[in-house]
Amino acid sequence: MTSPLPNSPDPNLLRGHLDLILLSILQGQPKYGLEISKLAQDATGGYFDLKVGSLYPALHRLEKAGFVRGEFQTAPRSGSPVKVYTLTGSGGRELQARQRDFQTFSTQLGKLWNLKAGGL
Amino acid sequence: MKPTERYLKQATRGLWGRARRELRAELAGHLGERVAELRLGNLSADEAERQVLRELGAPEQVSVGMLGVHTVPAVGKTGALGLLMATVLFAALPQGLAQVKGIYSYSQEGGATGYLDFEQFKASIEKAGGKISGPADNATIRLPGVTAPRPSLDTHWWLKPGLTLGGRTYLRADSLITGIRDSGADLRLSGWKNPTLNIGAAKIQLEADDWRVLNSFYQPTVGAGMGYGSDPFRSLEPNGNTGEVAFSGPLAANHIYAMVTATFNDWYNIDADGKKLDGGNIMLMTNINQAQAGAIQFRIDNDASNFKLVSSVAEFKKALEPYRDQTKLHQWSSKNPAPALLLELSGKFGADAFKVVSPRAIKRR
């Protein structure tokens, strides 16, 4: 019998991969904070629930590092100015590098899970 | 105070200036958009506001997180900068000139800037007939051939912060060059890679070929030419938020040119006790480079990628006036481009420091 997926990731796991999550979401189309947060929820069935307290500091950190570029635009419904984030060239390269790191890490960890009792 | 106002105030607590205004606008946009969504589901304005504030969570989580992004690391007691990166540069140099090594360092406090080796600078000044006495942070420099108005300089007034690297002490190149200029010395820079600093008849070879260090050498000439009351200057920092722009036109091969434009950055001066004095919201960004015949390329801050070249310093300053209101959020766009100057530098430090290149003669490529 398999256990159901947890409703949300361990907070430390989420924190450790927040940049990768945000860079992944910003692939393709520019998005503002509320859109990013909703897309993270919708695409993962609510598993990634990005709180404002971690979302905006992370976006600003990525902007400062030059991986995303923020620009104020008018929001569609309210007409309020919202800051729309676009992945930069260096952000795209960073995303690819982090994807590779994550896949390598995951593959290597999987090897440990497949170890039988008594070692190799 | 309304709940939303209270939330925004608490969420931006501890931030200052532009960072605070931008975060406030960004969070207000998030709130406004989510409230509008919920109202489409027939919630009243008050109900929608309450629900959104519940969804957002504690405002302190935002402010604490943002402080980690926007605050400046502490500066050590000695004034040495938190050294994130240092590159020692070297190159083959002509024999016979006194040589002073330039290095590059980046700090949150000082931005990107070049530094000069104090001991080598001291040796070069003495070889040229001047004298430096005392340690780097409290030295008196007697410049060769300078008699008035200030024949000697005291580094403790104007050379902080310096830095120590590998047991050697380095002084900020821009402060050192500006101090020598202010002494009344006949000062001129010539050449690009490994440029020569001419102090009267004395020649000092500055050992550097990194654009960041070379920019810190030449930037004081741009500031001098812009005149008193100019907005503060900052060299472009290789922080990822830069692009490139190229021009063609009647640009002389091997001549040095500067591109000056403006970005919105809050700044203020402090006195010796750390008390805030005057300040503003505009900083001038410079990038300096050597031209090939008919062409030149500059690095540019992406915030000022929408720019328009203007034909005089007066026109440049006038174009900035409508944007000095610090209570408003400003951003350059294609409709409201940043004014920009393209300057041909002479290497001198005064009204003759540069000539403005006419925008009519220049084509952006």
Complex confidence, ipTM: 0.86
The per-residue pLDDT for range A10-35, each reduced to its tens digit, is 877 888 899 999 999 999 889 999 99
Residue A118 has pLDDT above 70, yes or no: no
Q: Which residues of A touch B25 (CB under 8 A)?
A: 72, 81, 83
The per-residue pLDDT for range B144-164, each reduced to its tens digit, is 776 655 555 666 555 455 677
Residue B96 has pLDDT above 50, yes or no: no
Residue, of B279 and A85, whose pLDDT is higher: A85
Per-residue pLDDT at B161: 53
Cβ of A81 under 8 Å from any chain B Cβ? Answer: yes
Give the pLDDT band of residue B175 (cuts 50, 70, 90): confident
Exposure of B303 in the CB half-sphere (CA atoms within 13 A): 21
DSSP state of B211: H
Distances (CA, A) of B256 to B188, B245, B280, B305, B331: 13, 16, 29, 22, 30
Greatest alpha-carbon span in chain B = 84
Rounded to 5 degrees, φ, ψ at A5 are -60, 140
The kind and range of the H/E element at B11 are helix B3-11
Residue, of B59 and A70, whose pLDDT is higher: A70
Residue type, B337: P
Q: Which residues of B touch A81 (CB under 8 A)?
A: 25, 28-29, 329
Nearest residue of B to residue A85, measured between CA atoms: B26
- 3-class SS of residue A74: strand
Mean of the pLDDT values across residues B36-49? 90
Question: d(Cα B132, Cα A77) in Å, to the nearest integer?
Answer: 67
How many residues are there in chain B? 365
> What value, to the nearest 5°, has the Cα angle with vertex B274 and ends B269 and B279?
20
Distance from CA of A57 to the nearest CA of B (A): 5
Kindly state the tokens that stand for B362: 């220049």
Residue, of B85 and B339, whose pLDDT is higher: B339
Under an 8 A CB cutoff, do B61 and A65 touch?
Answer: no
Instruction: Share the mean pLDDT of chain B.
Output: 79
CB A57 within 8 A of CB B69: yes
Residue A43 has pLDDT above 80, yes or no: yes
First-to-last alpha carbon distance for chain A, in angstroms, is 27
Give the pLDDT band of residue B93 (cuts 50, 70, 90): very low
Q: Which residues of A touch B84 (CB under 8 A)?
A: none
Per-residue pLDDT at B70: 63
First-to-last alpha carbon distance for chain B, in angstroms, is 52
Task: Give all domains of chain A, ordered by start, each with its CATH number.
Answer: 11-112 (1.10.10.10)
Q: Which residues of A touch B57 (CB under 8 A)?
A: 51-53
Under an 8 A CB cutoff, do A66 and B22 touch?
Answer: no
Under an 8 A CB cutoff, do B65 and A56 touch?
Answer: yes
Of A78, A83, A90, the CB nearest to B32: A78
Residue, of B348 and B74, whose pLDDT is higher: B348
Number of H helices, E strands in chain B: 9, 20
Per-residue pLDDT at B153: 63
Under an 8 A CB cutoff, do B30 and A81 touch?
Answer: no
Per-residue pLDDT at B296: 96
Of B32, B65, B240, the CB nearest to A67: B240
Label each residue of B103-147 as H, E or C. EEEEECCCEEEEEEEHHHHHHHHHHCCCEEECCHHHCEEECCCCC
Q: Which residues of A touch B40 (CB under 8 A)?
A: 77
b/e per residue, B45-73, with b = 16+ CB within 10 A? eeebbbebbeebeebebbbebbeebbeee
b/e per residue, B220-238, with b = 16+ CB within 10 A? bbbbbbbeeebbebbbbbe
